[in-house]
Amino acid sequence: MTLATHDNTTQATFVTVAEPKRTRRSFADGVFADEHVMMVLSPVALLLIWEIAGRLGLIDLRFFPMPSQIFTELVGVMSSGELWLNTTASLQRLAIGFVLGGAPALALGILMGLVRPLRLFVDPLVAATYPVPKSAILPLILLVFGLGEASKVVMVAIGVFYPVIINTTAGVLAINRTYLDVGKHFRATPWQTFRTIALPGAMPFIMTGFKLGAGLGLILIAIAEMIGAKRGLGYMIWNAWEILQVEMMYIGILVIAVIGFIVTILLNQLERWMVPWQSGR
Amino acid sequence: MSSVLAFQSSDGTAGSAGRRAAADPPIRIRFVGTRKTFMIGSKPFVALEELNLDVAEGTFFCIVGPSGCGKTTLLRILAGLESPSEGRVECSRTGKEPPRMSMVFQGDSIFPWMSVWDNAAYALRLRGVAHAAIKETVDYYLDRTGLRRFADYYPHQLSGGMKQRVSIARAFANDPEILLMDEPFSALDEQNKTLLQEELLRIWEETRKTVLFITHSVDEAVTLGDRIMVMTAHPGRVKAIIDVPFERPRSVLELRAERSYGELVYRIWGHLRDEVQQARDQQQSNG
C-alpha cells in the first residue's frame, strides 16, 4: 500500500485507507476462474498420477492396473454388449426402486408434516428402523422377495424411502408458519394446502432427500446384485472378482461412479427447475 | 375508559335497539365479550381481556397499543386463525355467506415459490374464480400497486416494500368486504412506509371497505384512520377510542404539516404513554 501524505497548513496528515485493488491477472487465475475446469482437474490429475506410478512400477499392477489398461478392456466389453446389458439392468432396478420408495415417502412425509397426530404415530417407527444398516436386512429381503427382480428393487426402494420421508417431514415443518396462516385465512382446502403450500414450501428439503436417496439407492443396488443376481453392475463386479479379472472390477466401479455423477447432475438440474425461487446456488 | 362507554351509548345501544339515525353507518363488526387465553406450559396467559367493540361499516379503524397487548390476537380471531376462549365476534352480512375478509400479514407472507402475479391471484384461485375474471382483477391491482412490470418476478427479486405491495394486491384482489391489516408496514423504512401509506389511502378511497388496521405507530394511525382505539398493556383492554376529524381524500405529507395533526398525535400519546411504560415494566419483571 502506498502511503500518501499531505502537508497542509493545518498540518493534518492523511493516510490512504481505501484504494482500488491492484490486480495482476496471471495464467493460473484465468484457468481457475472457470469452474468447469476446476471440476475436471482433480480426477484427471489422479488418473495421471496413477498411470505414471504404474509405468514406473511403483504400484502392483495385479491390483491396480493402469488407467490405460482399464480403458483398453473397457473398449472390449463395450463392443461385446455385455457392459450395456449389465448397466441397463442396474439402471432399470434403480429407476423402479426410486419411484416405489420415493413416491410413498414424499406423500407420507408431507402428511406427517401437516398432521401432528400422524407424525407422532409414524415418527417412532421411522426413527427406530432408519439406523438399521440396509445391507443387514438383505438376507431377509431375499427370503421374502426371492432372488429375482423384486428383491433388488425393494432394496433400492428402502434406500430411497428413508432420506425422502425424513427430509420431506423436516421440510414441511420448516415452512414459515405465516405461509400456512395465509392458506388457512384464505380458506384453502386440505388438497389446496398440500398443492400450493406444503409441497412447494418443502421442495428444497425434498430435493435434498432425493439426492441422498439416489446415492443410497446406488450403494444398495450394487450390494444386492452381488448376491443372487445374474445381471447388473454389482453382479459384474462380483463375477470379475471370482474369476480375478481385475480390469473388469474397475470398469464396474467406474460405471457406477459415472452413473452417480450423472444422477447428481440431473437432480441438480431438476432442483433448479423445481425450486426457481432459490437463486444463486 | 370513558370514551369507550360514550362510543357504545352512541353506537352500540342504538344498534341493539334496531333503529338508528340515517346518518349513522350500520355496524359491520361486533366483538361481544371476546376473550382469549393461551396456555403457556401449564400457566394460562390472557392475550385478550374481555373486549366489547363495534366497528361501523366503511370505517378505517386503527388499533394502537404497546407490544404484547393482544392487538394481533384480536385480528387473528377475526381472520379465522384463532378462536376466542369466551364470547364471540359477529359480522353483519349482505348475502348468505359470512362477509369475505382479506388479511395483510405482518412481515413476509407472500409465497417465495410463486411469481408476483401468482401470489396476487392466490385467494381468487382458491375460490375457483374463472380465469378471465382473475386476470382482469389481478392485472388491475398490480397496476394500482405499481407492480405490473414485476408480474413475473419472484419475491426474492423484490425489495421489502415491493413484497408488501404484493401482499396488499393479494388482499384487495380477493375483493374482501372487510380488510384486516396487521402492522403491514412495520418492517419498512420510513420512505417506503410513507409511500405505501399514500398508495393504500388511494386504493382504499376508491372502495371504502371496512378496515381494521393494527399498528404500533401513532403517526400511522392518525394518518390513515377514521377512528383509533388505544389498548392497554397486557392484558389487552380498550383504553380509549378517538375519532380522527381529518377530511378525505388525505395526502400523507400535507396532513403531517398541519398543526391539528401534531396535536392529535400528542393527545393519543398521552393515552399510550403509561401503557407503554407498564408494558416495559412487565417485560423487565418477566425477563
Domain region containing B52: 5-100+176-286
pLDDT of residue B14: 37
Residue B113 in any domain: the answer is no
For residues A50 and A86, state if they share a domain.
Answer: no
Any B CB within 8 A of A195 CB: no
Q: Coil, helix or strand for A81?
A: coil
What is the sign, positive or negative, of the torsion defined by CA atoms of B196, B198, B201, B202? negative
With beta carbons less than 8 A apart as the criterion, state whether B106 and B53 touch: no
Domain region containing A186: 67-278
pLDDT of residue A229: 84
pLDDT of residue B21: 47
Q: Which residues of A touch B113 (CB under 8 A)?
A: 200-201, 203, 275-277
Count of domains observed in chain A:
2
Closest approach of chain A CAs to the CA of B116, in angstroms? 11
Q: Which residues of B touch A278 (CB under 8 A)?
A: 112, 156
pLDDT of residue B9: 33
3-state helix, strand, coil in chain B (%, to 5): 45, 25, 35
For residues A128 and A206, state if they share a domain.
Answer: yes
Q: Is residue B119 scored above 90 in pLDDT?
A: yes
Please list the residues that pair with B53 across neighbouring strands.
Answer: B31
For residues A228 and A270, state if they share a domain.
Answer: yes
Q: Is residue B208 scored above 50 in pLDDT?
A: yes
For residues A26 and A96, state if they share a domain.
Answer: no
- A223 burial via Cβ count (<10 Å: 0-12, 13-18, 19+): middle
CB A178 to CB B79 under 8 A? no
Residue A91 in any domain: the answer is yes
Q: Is residue B246 scored above 60 in pLDDT?
A: yes
Any B CB within 8 A of A197 CB: yes
Residues of A numbered 218-277 whose beta carbons fall under 8 angstroms of chain B's beta carbons: which are they?
Answer: 275-277
Count of domains observed in chain B:
1
**Which of B75, B109, B113, B124 should be substituted to probe chain A, the one whose Cβ sees the most A Cβ atoms within 10 Å?**
B113
What are the tens digits of pLDDT across the range A57-90? 999 988 889 999 999 988 888 888 889 999 999 9
Any B CB within 8 A of A192 CB: yes
B276: domain CATH number?
Answer: 3.40.50.300
pLDDT of residue A6: 55
For residues A95 and A234, state if they share a domain.
Answer: yes
Place of cell 436417496: A213
Angle in degrees, CA B165, B94, B210, rounded to 5 = 35
pLDDT of residue A135: 86
> pLDDT band at residue B173, thresholds of 50, 70 and 90?
very high
Closest approach of chain A CAs to the CA of B135, in angstroms? 18
pTM of the model: 0.81
Of A181, A196, A203, the CB nearest to B105: A181
Closest approach of chain B CAs to the CA of A249, in angstroms? 45
Any B CB within 8 A of A196 CB: yes
Residue B127 in any domain: the answer is no
With beta carbons less than 8 A apart as the criterion, state whether A226 and A234 touch: yes
Mean pLDDT of B154-168: 93
For residues A25 and A112, state if they share a domain.
Answer: no
CB A277 to CB B154 under 8 A? yes
Q: Tell me the CA distances in angstroms from B104 to A61, B99, B194, one per residue in order.
A: 71, 16, 17
For residues A161 and A273, state if they share a domain.
Answer: yes
pLDDT of residue B282: 81
Of B102, B107, B127, the CB nearest to A178: B107
A163: domain CATH number?
Answer: 1.10.3720.10
What are the tens digits of pLDDT across the range B75-91? 999 999 999 999 999 99
**Which of A172, A179, A185, A189 should be substituted to probe chain B, the one whose Cβ sees the most B Cβ atoms within 10 Å?**
A185
With beta carbons less than 8 A apart as the criterion, state whether A167 and A205 touch: yes
Q: Is residue B7 scored above 70 in pLDDT?
A: no
CB B154 to CB A187 under 8 A? no
Mean pLDDT of B251-259: 90
Q: Which residues of B touch A190 (CB under 8 A)?
A: none
For residues A29 and A102, state if they share a domain.
Answer: no
What are the tens digits of pLDDT across the range A180-221? 999 999 999 999 999 999 999 999 999 999 999 999 999 999
What are the tens digits of pLDDT across the range A123-135? 999 999 999 998 8
What are the tens digits of pLDDT across the range A230-261? 899 999 999 999 998 888 999 999 999 999 98
CB A277 to CB B123 under 8 A? no
Any A CB within 8 A of B123 CB: yes
Residue A61 in any domain: the answer is no
Q: Tell me the CA distances in angstroms from B105 to A200, B113, B171, one per residue in order.
A: 20, 17, 10
Distance of alpha carbon A276 from the chain centroid: 20
For residues A163 and A212, state if they share a domain.
Answer: yes
Residue B159 in any domain: the answer is no
For residues A15 and A80, state if they share a domain.
Answer: no
Any A CB within 8 A of B23 CB: no
Any B CB within 8 A of A176 CB: yes
Q: Is residue A2 scored above 60 in pLDDT?
A: no
Question: Can you tell me the ipTM of this complex?
Answer: 0.86
> pLDDT band at residue B92, thresholds of 50, 70 and 90?
confident
Of B81, B101, B107, the CB nearest to A184: B81
User: What's the CA gap between A152 and B282, in Å, rounded?
Assistant: 64
For residues A96 and A227, state if they share a domain.
Answer: yes
DSSP B11: I
Residue B33 in any domain: the answer is yes
